[in-house]
Amino acid sequence: MPRTLAADPVRLPALAALPALSALLWCGCESAAVETTTRQMDSASDVALLCALETRHEDGTTTWAGTTMDQCAKDLDGDLFAFVVQRYRGELAAVNLRDRRLLDLDLRQPLSSPVVVGPLPNAIAAAPDGSSLAVANLGDPRPGDDPTNPDGVPFLSIVNPANLLPRISLDAGRPFLSRVPLPVPASNVAYLDATHVVVTLPGLSAVAVVTLGETPVVGPPVVLDPFPLLDPEGDPLPGLGVPWSILVDDVRGRLVVGDRAAPWLAVLTWDDAFALTVAAHAPDPFQLPGPSVAMAIEPPGRGPAGDEPGRWIYAVDGSSRGVMVLDAETLAAIDMSTGDPLEWRNELIVPGLAQDVLLGRIAQDPVPDPADPEPEVMHGTFGFVVSSFGEVFAVDVEDHGNAACWDGAAAGEGSYVESACPRHVLRNGIAGAEGPRWSDEPPSLFQASGAALSYSGAPPDEYPRFHDFGGETAEGDPTWGVLFDTVHPRRAVSQTWIVEYEGVVPWTDGNGGQVGDAGWFRDRAMPFCARGVLAGDILIIKDGPDPLSEATDCSAWGAVGQEAELEYRIVEARADRLLLETVVGADGNTDPLPTRECFPWAVRYEVRVGGRWLVRGEATGFQHHVTVGEDPDPTDDVPGLCIEFPDDAICTPYENCTTEPVDVRCLHDGRATDGVIHKNPFLCFTMDAGTVATPRGMRWELDATGGFAALSVETGSLPVAEALDVTTGTGPALLVVDSSSDGLIRVDLADFTVSDNWP
């Protein structure tokens, strides 16, 4: 329905601004201080977008009616509003994104005032037809303070936007809020349709459907722990003790629920009466890398009919705070290390901790010129990750503005070639970069003692060094015997690269190691396969013995309670444990296998590669290509072995590594041996051995410039949530909520910059 202008079409100023205006008129031209009270957003936790149509009447009043989002996709029809919940104030604020102004929701209060919606509001969702807003409250921290709810009964807040949005009249006090009592507080909420919402109830390990109307009805909670289904062998499946995140997959007709602590999902369906049924435990049979605390699915709309379901689900890993990429059909996690990532782990990793994630389809008008690509102009399908470092990062899924992605002469011509384009990688923020190169300064050799040698001071007949030192690229730049991956130059970041002999495998320095029987060493919090640990690596225990009884003789491992360097070779590397054997250590000693009697407490440890070189960058550079293989003994309840994947046989040889015709072997796990051409995912080299044994810790360092830099924008101190505006009237834009003091921030996706801020 188009906007009706029954009287004067000119917008009137907000009434809350009139006192300030009269104060200015009273002061005249004289300088005088005017004291006033300001209201700012505080501890914002979530945001939802709602479209509404405005009607102005002959008596000067204005009414609003919520509507579907397509009404805001048409210019001049609806107004798009952003509703922001503030956790510790229990308030709801609103911004009109067309007028770019913070609304006065309570005309009885001075200035632009929010309204109270409930205790500790954590999440908000908008009905698909715009008829209501639902707010999930985590619970009343001060039960009894609210005279309307003296017993502190948990409730779901339902907001009527028609009565909440300000009219140009003095009709303050309209009933805009209704409370739906719940058995326990809700952590999240989502709409199944205009009159049915689903809530997560962590206190019951359950989810429930609420039917809205004059008399709302809360359906029976569906308990997810214990899980109501069994595995194919008839054994119980692990449950979701703290259900937290919700994803409504409308096209597939299912509800996906993530847990705050458990690395798996529950899949539910609903019937015509909106009764929930647990359909599956996912993913089957493997668990995810971590728990899913926030999820988003690619919007439907692909295919000839425009009704194909989304293919990808992005989920924030509650353990690593990376972003898991799931196949939306099977809900299995895709190992990012076997694709085209910028990180060594099996997830998308951004600086800081991922707080929220979105997937959306962006259409720029006009279409970006492929002849003059600008990385900040996005046209296609993209993800957006909010980081605790105060930044938002863009993720390439399908860049339809890139001419290289099409088999025609230009972008949009012919068919989109998925294999030719990046997918699920951070977007490069460098426009027209010439590509990565080594700096003019030669590499430096650092000995195991830490002493440095200059490039010319490292005798080639004594120290190991890169083959073909002093070579040049086609552009005449030095290579120092190390070439960047010219096929995927976006992988190289301006940083220092370190090639170290028997270096520490990144992120394997733990402090919760448990010594077991028969040489087993365990740490449930350390995913050894995901970190890239393999058989043949070296485990070093850094704590000496500390027995429970002073009578226990532990002198074979050194002094009690002191630091140590106990070295063991890894015979089997598994998902959460290692099988050890004795080995002659770097100090020439052979330490006996540790025992539980002498090591009853958790110990510190690290894992080093055994007998090989390790490549890493200070920002990126270790990509493991290690996964969990089949369990050789399924009866021992021990996860399968860590294996390299893909293996050498199916690894594509690297081109132009060296001018010499040497048999190429690809080592995707970031390791290399002497005399073998090594292809790390970022660079390529051959290491020639010296005349003396290479000591552990010897390393070469090279500096790279002109490489990849992730496209990002600063959005507050601690952004925690986001919403995507893809309408033509006010978008495309990203609305980011900052839980500190910056309130709501608008990022214009036409140039990926902050265009507005409502603190």
Omega before 375 cis (within 30°)?
no
Q: What is the pLDDT of residues 704-748, one digit of tens each?
A: 887 777 889 999 888 999 999 988 888 899 999 998 878 899 999
- Tell me the pLDDT of the chain averaged across its residues: 81
Q: In the structure encoding, which two tokens stand for residue 329, read together?
A: 């059909």
Q: What is the pLDDT of residues 541-589, one digit of tens each?
A: 999 999 999 999 999 999 998 999 999 999 999 988 999 999 999 888 9
CB 168 within 8 A of CB 153: no
pLDDT(656) > 70 = no
Q: In the structure encoding, which two tokens stand for residue 585, read together?
A: 């250590």
Q: What is the pLDDT of residues 623-655, one digit of tens each?
A: 555 767 777 777 776 777 887 765 444 444 444
Q: What is the pLDDT of residues 273-298, one digit of tens each?
A: 999 999 999 987 667 888 999 999 99
The gap from C-alpha 5 to its chain's centroid, in whole angstroms, comes to 45
CB 167 within 8 A of CB 64: yes
pLDDT(259) > 90 = yes
Q: In the structure encoding, which two tokens stand for residue 392, read together?
A: 């938002």
Give the mean model confidence (pLDDT) for residues 486-500: 71
pLDDT(16) > 50 = no
pLDDT at 255: 97
pLDDT(233) > 50 = yes
**What confidence tier does 410 reach under pLDDT thresholds 50, 70, 90?**
confident
Q: In the structure encoding, which two tokens stand for residue 705, read together?
A: 């410039």
Give the mean model confidence (pLDDT) for residues 688-714: 84
Q: Which burial class, exposed, middle or buried, applies to 447 when counting CB atoms under 10 A from its CB (0-12, 13-18, 19+)?
A: middle
**What confidence tier does 22 reach under pLDDT thresholds 50, 70, 90?**
very low
Q: Please report the sign of the dihedral spanned by the C-alpha atoms of residue 302, residue 305, residue 306, residue 308.
A: negative
- Written as one letter, the residue type at 97 is L
Q: How far is CA 559 from CA 263, 553, 563, in A?
A: 40, 10, 8
Phi, psi of 740 (to 5 degrees): -90, -100
CATH number assigned to the domain with residue range 17-429+714-758, chosen from the 4 options 3.40.50.720, 3.40.50.300, 2.130.10.10, 2.40.420.20: 2.130.10.10
In the chain, DSSP finds a helix count (H) and a strand count (E) of 3, 51
pLDDT at 8: 33
**What confidence tier does 89 reach under pLDDT thresholds 50, 70, 90?**
confident
- Written as one letter, the residue type at 249 is D
pLDDT(29) > 70 = no
User: CATH 2.130.10.10 residue ranges in the chain?
Assistant: 17-429+714-758
